[in-house]
């Protein structure tokens, strides 16, 4: 889908100097991804995965590359303080690691937590498999991977997190990605590599925050490997400012009997996109996702969830809620694939949505692709309003309409937090959800 005249966004991203690491394979991979992006360009809405997310407006902007002042920008740490989350912490500001804001001095044994830039200065070889993956380079005409290619070409930092086999990390690890207001419109990129060894356990909190100011474009690509029997609790809280465009791809691979549970709150941003892919490659693996997206104003929040069952007796459950208000648009795709031979797969997905305003829009697309017969697979999706009878019940007990609505909407969203194990965090997130509601 290459365009005749280069789009300002593409031009500005291609103008950025290609980072040089001195590691031959990494520099080659960056070069190849840069070329693939230059050849493939941006996806338009004819590309199925971008059908409901038009990049037209974003494509007309130019973003400066890198923030020279990132290491010294003042950041209010209270913007990412969370109750129940007081463990090791890694903070990045405008794509740059900030040791002064991070907490990595007393890491428990078996936990490696360091910025990618630092990891690459040591032994880069273990990262080669992930960072030089050829998949993105593939067919250059395929524009769907545009941002992942930009990220692979330009990201110089990110998180490297490893938990050694059979290590259970008690305190939750916090990853904070801050967009701090700069003088110009800024683009930055981060690459995260996370691995839980066999039998390891980790609770992870990923946060995206940003300040008001000139618009930003951030891309984040995360690879999460959960080895045999390991358990991951991952909470993702996105509450960036309305000027921040955030495009992420997270790929989770689950080995035999591994279990990952993910809770997602998508609350902020301008154009927000999350490609969340899970592959259940080991027998007995399990993946559970819970999420809520609440676009308001003119926000556009797009979640593309794709779960692939590739082994025997794997299970996945997904429960997502969307609430769109004002002139906002919520997009959800929930695809479940059961590969040939993945007998005993049990997959269910539900996406319920509320439309609160005549200017808002919800586009949802649950998908099932089933190639094995010993399976249970079901999905459901609804778009509608609050239940009139419930509203009537509350009003008949003297609760004003606006309050009754807020109450029911809050209950609708909070359902996805029910099984979040960290109680203090769960309460905090509930309060955040309620605060986001109209009439709150």
d(CA 142, CA 135): 11
CB of 26 to other proteins, least distance (A): 36
Nearer to other proteins, 316 or 422 (CB): 316
CB of 321 to other proteins, least distance (A): 15
Tell me: does residue 139 bind other proteins (CB under 8 A): no
Tell me: does residue 418 bind other proteins (CB under 8 A): no
CB of 9 to other proteins, least distance (A): 26
* Other beta carbons less than 10 A from residue 212's beta carbon: 9
Nearer to other proteins, 368 or 432 (CB): 368
Nearer to other proteins, 193 or 354 (CB): 354
CA 28 remoteness from chain centre: 27
Site for other proteins in 315-344 (CB under 8 A): 340-341
Give the CA count within 13 Å in the CB-facing half-sphere of 17: 4
Tell me: does residue 35 bind other proteins (CB under 8 A): no
Site for other proteins in 365-404 (CB under 8 A): 365-385
The runs of H, that is alpha helices, within 136-195 are 146-154
DSSP 398: T
Q: Which pair of tokens denotes residue 127?
A: 């990262």
Could you say which of 357, 400, 423, 439 contacts other proteins (CB under 8 A)? 357
Nearer to other proteins, 333 or 426 (CB): 333
Tell me: does residue 47 bind other proteins (CB under 8 A): no
x-marked contacts with other proteins along 216-255 as a string, rule CB under 8 A: ----------------------------------------
d(CA 165, CA 330): 39
Nearer to other proteins, 113 or 349 (CB): 349
Tell me: does residue 353 bind other proteins (CB under 8 A): yes
Map residue 340 onto helix, strand or coil.
coil
DSSP 420: -
DSSP 286: E
Could you say which of 64, 90, 113, 355 contacts other proteins (CB under 8 A)? 355
Q: Which pair of tokens denotes residue 324?
A: 């769109």
Is 151 buried (19+), middle (13-18) or exposed (0-12) by CB count in 10 A?
buried
DSSP 16: S
Tell me: does residue 363 bind other proteins (CB under 8 A): yes
Nearer to other proteins, 118 or 382 (CB): 382
Q: Angle of helix 423-436 relative to helix 401-414, nearest 10 degrees?
A: 140
Contact residues for other proteins, defined by CB under 8 A? 48, 52, 340-341, 353, 355-358, 360-385
């Amino acid at each position: 889908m290459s365009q005749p005249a280069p789009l300002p966004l593409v031009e500005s991203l291609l103008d950025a100097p290609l980072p040089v690491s001195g590691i031959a394979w990494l520099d080659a991979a960056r070069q190849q991804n840069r070329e693939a992006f230059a050849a493939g360009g941006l996806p338009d809405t004819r590309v199925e995965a971008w059908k409901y997310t038009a990049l037209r407006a974003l494509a007309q902007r130019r973003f400066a590359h890198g923030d020279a002042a990132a290491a010294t920008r003042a950041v209010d740490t209270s913007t990412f303080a969370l109750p129940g989350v007081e463990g090791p912490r890694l903070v990045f500001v405008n794509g740059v690691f900030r040791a002064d804001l991070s907490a990595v001095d007393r890491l428990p044994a078996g936990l490696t937590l360091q910025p990618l830039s630092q990891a690459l200065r040591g032994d880069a070889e273990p990262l080669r498999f992930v960072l030089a993956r050829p998949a993105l380079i593939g067919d250059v005409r395929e524009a769907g991977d545009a941002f992942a290619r930009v990220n692979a070409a330009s990201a110089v930092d990110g998180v490297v997190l490893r938990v050694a086999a059979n290590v259970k990390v008690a305190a939750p690890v916090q990853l904070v990605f801050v967009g701090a207001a700069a003088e110009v419109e800024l683009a930055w990129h981060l690459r995260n590599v996370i691995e839980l060894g066999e039998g390891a356990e980790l609770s992870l909190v990923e946060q995206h925050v940003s300040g008001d100011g000139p618009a930003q474009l951030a891309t984040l690509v995360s690879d999460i490997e959960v080895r045999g029997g390991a358990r991951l609790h991952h909470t993702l809280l996105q509450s960036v400012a309305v000027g921040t465009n955030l495009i992420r791809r997270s790929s989770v691979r689950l080995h035999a009997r591994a279990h990952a549970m993910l809770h997602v709150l998508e609350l902020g941003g301008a154009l927000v996109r999350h490609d969340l892919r899970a592959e259940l490659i080991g027998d007995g693996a399990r993946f559970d996702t819970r999420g809520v997206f609440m676009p308001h104003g003119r926000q556009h929040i797009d979640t593309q969830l794709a779960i692939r069952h590739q082994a025997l007796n794997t299970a996945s459950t997904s429960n997502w809620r969307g609430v769109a208000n004002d002139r906002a648009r919520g997009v959800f795709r929930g695809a479940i694939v059961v590969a040939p031979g993945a007998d005993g797969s049990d997959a269910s997905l539900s996406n319920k949505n509320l439309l609160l305003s005549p200017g808002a829009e919800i586009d949802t697309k649950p998908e099932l692709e089933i190639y094995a017969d010993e399976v249970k697979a079901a999905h459901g999706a609804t778009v509608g309003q609050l239940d009139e009878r419930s509203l009537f019940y509350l009003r008949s007990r003297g609760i004003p309409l606006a309050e009754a609505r807020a109450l029911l909407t809050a209950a609708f969203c909070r359902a996805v937090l029910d099984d979040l194990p960290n109680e203090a965090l769960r309460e905090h997130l509930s309060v955040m959800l309620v605060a986001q509601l109209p009439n709150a």
